[in-house]
Structure 1
Amino acid sequence: MRTNNMKAILKAALRVVCILPFAAVVAFGQQTVNLTAGPTTVTLPDGSTVPMWGYSCGTVVTGGTATCALLNPLAAATTTTAATWSPVVITVPYVATGTSLTINLTNSLTFGANSVPTSLLIVGQLDAGLGTSATSTASPDHTNAQPLTWPIAADPPGAPMTGVGTPPAQGPRVQSFSTEVAPGATTPVTWTALRPGTYLIESGTHPSIQGPMGLYGILVVTTAPAGGVAGTAYPAVGTTVPAVTYNAEVPVLLSEIDPVQNNAVTAAVNTAGFTETAVWSGQPNQCGNPSSANYHTCYPPAVNYTPLYYLINGVAFNKTSPSSSLFPVSPATGVTGSVLVRFVNAGLRMHVPSIVGSVTTPAVVPTGTTAAAVSGFSLVAEDGNPLPGVSRVQSEVFLAAGKTYDVMVNVPTAAGATALPVYDRELSLSANAIARDAGMVAYISVNGSGLPAAPAFAGAIARPDTYNSVLAGQTLTVSDPGKGLIANDTNVFGVQVVGTVAGLTLNPNGTFTYLGPPTAFTYCANGAVTAGVCSSNITASVTLGAAPLEAGSGITMGNITYTSNATFLSIKPPGILAVDRDAAGYPLSVAPATAVASSGLTLSVDSTGAFNASVTTAGTYTFTYKAQNSQGTVSAASATVTLIFPAATGLSVTVLDGADKKTVIPDYRWIIEEDRTFYVNPGCTTNPPPAGCPTAASGIVPTFGTNFHTSYMPLVATGCTGPLSCESGQTIVDPATGTHVAAVCDVGDGVCRPDTTGNGFTAVLPSAVHLDPTKRYYLSVLPGDAANPFETANKGKGHG
C-alpha cells in the first residue's frame, strides 16, 4: 500500500511541475494595454486647429511588457500645455507558443447630450478580437433613386418627387465590423494568437468617418533587440524562409486630414438631435440641407473626402520647426547592422514613401551571388506576411490605403551622417493645398544623427508689401496666395492683422480683400495678436496705394467678322473680346450700353464678349461696341463687328412618326454637321462600276472607310422647332428687380438669357441654314417628346 501511495504522490507532483512552466508561458504571452478613444484637436503648420478623435494610452498594467506610446512624442501633455492628437503605437513581445493581447478600450466619444459608439480592428489579425456582435443598420429608402440619378425620368420642377418602378431590395449597411464599445463604457477586446509583424489599428465603426477623424495607430508584434542581441521581426518558416532579424526599428505612419469633413463631423455630433444612423440628404427638409431645421443632425457624406493636410507619425512637416519631424530609431544609440522601417498607410489615399540616401544589403540573394550594399531598401514583409524568395530592392514602395510594408536599410556608417529623409513620392507635400514644403516629409535619426543643414530650415522672416492697386469704389481682391502677403516671406505659415483696418479682410494664407481709400497696416506672422501685440514678434508693414489709372488709349480695339449659317448666331465667351488688348494687362469686358446695332439686326451682348444676333433677311450687318478694363477705364475707340448672314438654302425637312410613317412631328431638335467621311457614290457600288464612276477603268468598287485626318465633323448649325425641344417655360431672376422673368435656355452652355419675344423659346428651322452645294452634310433629329415614356413610366407616348 505504501508503494502505491508513493506512486500516486509522485504522479501528482509531476503534474504540478509540468503545469507551472505552462502557466508561466501563458502569463508571459498574455499582455494588456489600456486605451481610450476621445475627442481632441491638432494644430497644423499653417496655424489651423482641426478637431480630431484619437486614441490615448492609459495606465500601464503592472507586470506587463507590452507598451503603448504616442507616435508624436510632442503631443503629450506637459505642465503648461494639454495633450493634443497623435496616433499611437502598441508594441507586444512575440511568444512562439501564443501571443495574447487584451486592449481595454474606453469610449469617451461624448459630445454634450450626444455620444457615439466605437470599436477596434487590427487589420490583418483575424482573431477573437473582432467579437461576435458586429452591427448593421437598415438600408436607406431607394424608392426615389431613379429620378434623382436620372433627371429625365424625374418629376416636373416644383412637383413632389415620386419614384419610377421598384428598385432592387438593398441589404443592411454595416455600422461596425467588430464588437462596439458603448459611450462611457470600458470593454476588453482580446486577441489570443497574434502573428508577428506590423499592423494597422483603426476603428471598426463607421470607418469612413471615425478613421479620418484620427482613430488609428500601429500594432507591432516582435522580438525587439535587447542587450546588443538582434531582434527578430519574423521567425524562420521551416527551411524555405529565413528569420528576419534587425538591430533597430522605427514606425512610419502616413495619414491625411480633411479639415472640412472633420469640422462637419464635429458640428454634427454637437448638434441637438444628431443620430449617427441618419442618412445624409441635401434635399429640402433633410439633414444635409442648410435651410432645414434638422441641418447637421447626420454625418456628412464621406464620398466628398478631400484631404488637405498630410502627416507622418501624426506630424505635418513644418520647415520652421523641422525637429518636430525627426524620429529616432529604437534603440536610439549604439546601433550597427540594419534598421527595420515599418511603413503603415492609415489614410484613405495611396502614398509612395521613399527613403533618400538609404543603402541596404539584401538578406537573400541569388545562388552564386555575394550580398553587397546597394542603394534603396529591401522589402521584408507585406501586411505582416514575410516575403519569400530573393530580397527585392526598391527605392520606393506603393502603399494603398490600409497597406503596411516592412523594409530594411543599413545603418549609415559615414562620418557625420545626417538623418535619413523620408518623403511621399506621390507628392503629398503641401498644407491646406497652398503651403509648400510641408506634408509627408520626415527624418529617421540613427545613433543620434541630426537634421541636415539647409537654408529652408531658417527662422521666419516677414517682409514689407506694397500694392498700388486701390481704386475708388472698387474692391481690391488678392485671391492668389502666390501674390499675397506671404509670397515674399520666408517660412511664414500664417498671418493676422495687427489692429483694425476698416474694409480689410485678411486671411491666414496672406490673401485679402479691401474696399476703401489708400491705407497701410501691419500684420503678425506665425503668431496671434492679443491687445494689439504680436506673440511671435514677427511683423511686416503693408502699403495699399492708389492705382495709376490707365488712359482709354491704352486699350486696343480689334474689328472682327463672323459668318453665320442661319438667321440666328450665338457666339460664346470671350467672343468679340478675343481680339481686344489692354496695354497694362487688365481684364477686359464689354462696356455697358455701348453696343450699337445696324438696322434689321436684333442683338444682345454680354459683358463677357458673348452675343446673340438674329435677322429676318439675309445680308451683311454690323454693330459697334467699346471695351472697359477692370479699373473702369473705357476704350477711346470703338470696334466694329461684321455679321454676314448668307441666303438660306431653304432645306425642307419633314419629320415623321417612326411607327406609322405618316404623322408629322413638328417639335424636334436638330443638328447639321459637315460630312467629311470617305465618300462613295451610291451609283458606283455595283461590280464592275458603271461607266463614269471614278474606278470604272479598274473594275473595282471603292472600299468604304474613314479618312482619320479629317474625321472631325464640324458643326454647321443646330436649333429647335417647338416648346418641348426648345425647353420653353423657364425663368431666371432679373438682378435689377429680384423677380423671375421669362427666359430662353437654348444657348447651349447652361446659361439662359431673357426672352424679349414673349414666346418662351426661339425656334430655328433647318430651312434657315445656308449650306454649301459642293459639300455633304449629316442631319440628326431628336423629337421633343422623346422623354415622355421615361417621365410617365411608359404610360405616355413619345417619338424616337
Structure 2
Amino acid sequence: MPATVIKHIWAKAGTIAMPGAGGPVSIPVWGYAMDSCPSMIPGPTLDVTAGDTLQVVLHNTLAEPVSMIFPGQPLVPRSEEDAGDRWVSFTAHAEPQDSVAYAFQAARPGTYRYESGTHPERQVQMGLAGVLIVRPAGLDPVDPATWTAYGTGTGSEYDVERVLVLGEVDSRLHHAVASGLPHDPLDYAPDGWMINGRAFPDTLAPDNDSSQPLGARVTATTGQRVLLRCVNTAFYPHALHFGGLSVRVVAEDGYPLRTPALDATYEKHTLTLAPGQTCDVILTARAPGEYYIFDRDLYHATNEGEFPGGMMTRLEVVPRGDLLGSRHA
C-alpha cells in the first residue's frame, strides 16, 4: 500500500578530505545531512516506493537561504525573490535557522537527483545535492527474484546494486564561499574529481560515518547482474569507462528504455553523462578479476595531476560461491 514517507534533512557546513601531495587536504563544503550526522557529500540517499508520498522537511543551519528541488518529480517549483525583487530561489526556501517542507507523490520508478534550488551556481558546487531512488511497487528487499529497477518487462532485473555519484570540487570557490569572499562563477575551475564524494583510492574504502560516508567499490560474483545507478551532480560532462566491460543502458533520467512496444536499450563501453543526468546500466561480468571504472578524461582520474586518483573506483568479480549476492555491493 502507498505510504507517506517523512524525511528530515539539515543543510550544514562541514569539510571533506581530498588527497594531496603532503597528505589529506581539508576543503570546506555545504551538505545535506540526516539529524545529528555531519554534512554528507553527496547528500543522504532518499529511497521510496512508487506511489508513496514523500515529505521532506528541510532545516537550514547555514547563513543564507537554502532550498531543495527534485527534477523529474511532480512538484511545481515557485520562484522566490527578496525584498528588492531580486531572484533568490527556484522554489520555496528556508531562511537561516528556519525550515521549509516539500511534498509530492513519487509516481514513477527511477533514479533521480535532488539539489539546492537557491543560488545553485555555488550551493550545488558546495555540495548541496543527492540522489532520490524510486523503486517499483512489489519489490521485496529480502527476495532477490523481485529486484528490478523499473518493473517487470523493462530489462532492469539485477542481483547487486550500487549508486555512483560523480562530482567535482573547485577548491578556490569552496574556500571563497565559506569565507564570505566574492567569487566569479564564470571562473569555475575544478581541481578535484570524485565518485560518491571520494577520490581514488579512498573510493575503495568501506562506508563510514564521516562527511564522505559512501564507498564506491563494487563486488559481485561471476554471472551476477550489477545495476549501477550513475548520477552526475557535477557541472562538467563525464565519460565513465567500465574497464573494458560492456554495459547495457536500461534507463536515462528516470525513463526506462525498454517498454512492451520498443526495446531502445543499448550497449556501451564508455558512458557519457551530461551535467545533472542520471543513467541506469546493467553489466554482467563473466570472468573473475578486477575492473577499473574511471573517467576516460585521464586528468579527471588524478590527484593533483598524479595518476591514478580522482574519479575512479573498482569492480571486483570473484568466482561464484565465494561471495553472497546482496542488494547493495
TM range (shorter): 0.7 to 0.9
Task: Give yes or no for the alignment of 1:116 onto 2:91.
Answer: no
Q: CA deviation at 1:328?
A: 5.1
Partner of 1:348: 235
Paired AA for residue 188 in structure 1: A
1:135 aligned residue (80, 83, 86): 80
Q: Deviations over 1:499-550 (max 9, x none)?
A: xxxxxxxxxxxxxxxxxxxxxxxxxxxxxxxxxxxxxxxxxxxxxxxxxxxx
Task: Give yes or no for the alignment of 1:92 onto 2:40.
Answer: no
1:56 aligned residue (6, 29, 33): 33
Task: Give yes or no for the alignment of 1:31 onto 2:8.
Answer: no
Task: Give yes or no for the alignment of 1:377 onto 2:273.
Answer: no
2:312 aligned residue (426, 436, 441): 441
Q: Deviations over 1:295-341 (max 9, x none)?
A: x3xx422111110000000001138x853695355xx7789641110
Task: Give yes or no for the alignment of 1:315 onto 2:198.
Answer: yes
Larger-Rg structure: 1
Q: Deviations over 1:89-108 (max 9, x none)?
A: 4243323xx22111121111
Q: Deviations over 1:749-794 (max 9, x none)?
A: xxxxxxxxxxxxxxxxxxxxxxxxxxxxxxxxxxxxxxxxxxxxxx
Change (3 A) 1:334 1:356: closer
TM-score, scaled to structure 2: 0.82
Q: Deviations over 1:21-40 (max 9, x none)?
A: xxxx3xx4211112111100
Identity %: 29
Partner of 2:119: 206
Contact 2:225–2:282 under 8 Å retained in 1: yes
Contact 1:247–1:335 under 8 Å retained in 2: no
Task: Give yes or no for the alignment of 1:254 onto 2:254.
Answer: no
The whole-number CA distance in structure 1 between the counterparts of 2:276 and 2:94 is 23
Gaps of 5+ in 1: 1-24, 60-76, 78-82, 110-114, 140-171, 269-295, 359-375, 450-800
Q: Deviations over 1:467-512 (max 9, x none)?
A: xxxxxxxxxxxxxxxxxxxxxxxxxxxxxxxxxxxxxxxxxxxxxx
Change (3 A) 1:202 1:444: farther
The whole-number CA distance in structure 2 between the counterparts of 1:44 and 1:84 is 16
Partner of 2:150: 234
TM-score, scaled to structure 1: 0.35
The whole-number CA distance in structure 1 between the counterparts of 2:250 and 2:198 is 26
Change (3 A) 1:355 1:326: farther
Paired AA for residue 302 in structure 1: P
Change (3 A) 1:226 1:258: same
The whole-number CA distance in structure 2 between the counterparts of 1:349 and 1:231 is 32
Partner of 2:303: 431
Change (3 A) 1:445 1:119: farther
The whole-number CA distance in structure 2 between the counterparts of 1:84 and 1:105 is 13
Contact 1:345–1:404 under 8 Å retained in 2: yes
Partner of 1:220: 133
Residues 61-80 of structure 1 aligned to structure 2 (within 5 Å): none
Paired AA for residue 102 in structure 2: V
Change (3 A) 1:443 1:357: same
Contact 2:217–2:313 under 8 Å retained in 1: no
- SS of the residue corresponding to residue 31 of structure 2 reads strand
The whole-number CA distance in structure 2 between the counterparts of 1:382 and 1:173 is 35
Change (3 A) 1:423 1:138: farther
The whole-number CA distance in structure 1 between the counterparts of 2:221 and 2:268 is 27
Q: CA deviation at 1:421?
A: 1.7
Q: CA deviation at 1:41?
A: 0.4
Q: CA deviation at 1:191?
A: 1.5
- SS of the residue corresponding to residue 234 of structure 1 reads coil
Partner of 2:216: 327
Contact 1:347–1:401 under 8 Å retained in 2: yes
Task: Give yes or no for the alignment of 1:105 onto 2:58.
Answer: yes
Paired AA for residue 56 in structure 1: A
- SS of the residue corresponding to residue 263 of structure 1 reads helix
The whole-number CA distance in structure 2 between the counterparts of 1:91 and 1:419 is 30
Contact 1:127–1:193 under 8 Å retained in 2: no
Residues 16-27 of structure 1 aligned to structure 2 (within 5 Å): 25=1
Paired AA for residue 323 in structure 1: A
The whole-number CA distance in structure 1 between the counterparts of 2:100 and 2:15 is 25
The whole-number CA distance in structure 2 between the counterparts of 1:230 and 1:443 is 27
Residues 520-559 of structure 1 aligned to structure 2 (within 5 Å): none
Paired AA for residue 122 in structure 2: I
Partner of 2:108: 195
Gaps of 5+ in 2: 207-213, 324-329
Residues 415-430 of structure 1 aligned to structure 2 (within 5 Å): 417-427=288-298, 428-430=300-302
The whole-number CA distance in structure 1 between the counterparts of 2:204 and 2:225 is 25
- SS of the residue corresponding to residue 397 of structure 1 reads strand
- SS of the residue corresponding to residue 439 of structure 1 reads coil
The whole-number CA distance in structure 2 between the counterparts of 1:426 and 1:439 is 11
Change (3 A) 1:436 1:101: same
- SS of the residue corresponding to residue 265 of structure 1 reads helix
Paired AA for residue 327 in structure 1: A
Paired AA for residue 146 in structure 2: A
Q: CA deviation at 1:201?
A: 1.3
Contact 2:58–2:94 under 8 Å retained in 1: yes
Partner of 2:209: none
Q: CA deviation at 1:186?
A: 2.7
The whole-number CA distance in structure 2 between the counterparts of 1:196 and 1:406 is 12
The whole-number CA distance in structure 2 between the counterparts of 1:335 and 1:86 is 31
The whole-number CA distance in structure 1 between the counterparts of 2:146 and 2:216 is 21
Partner of 2:282: 408
Contact 2:70–2:114 under 8 Å retained in 1: yes
Q: CA deviation at 1:342?
A: 0.6
Contact 1:256–1:307 under 8 Å retained in 2: yes
Change (3 A) 1:127 1:445: farther
Q: Deviations over 1:268-311 (max 9, x none)?
A: 1xxxxxxxxxxxxxxxxxxxxxxxxxxx3xx4221111100000
Change (3 A) 1:233 1:199: same
Contact 1:341–1:406 under 8 Å retained in 2: yes
Q: Return the structure number with greater relative CO, CA threshold 8 A, min gap 6.
A: 2
Partner of 1:714: none
The whole-number CA distance in structure 2 between the counterparts of 1:313 and 1:409 is 20
Partner of 2:267: 393
Q: CA deviation at 1:419?
A: 4.4
Aligned CA-pair RMSD: 2.8
Say which structure is richer in strand. Answer: 2
Q: How many residue pairs are counted as aligned between the two chains?
A: 302
Contact 2:229–2:278 under 8 Å retained in 1: yes
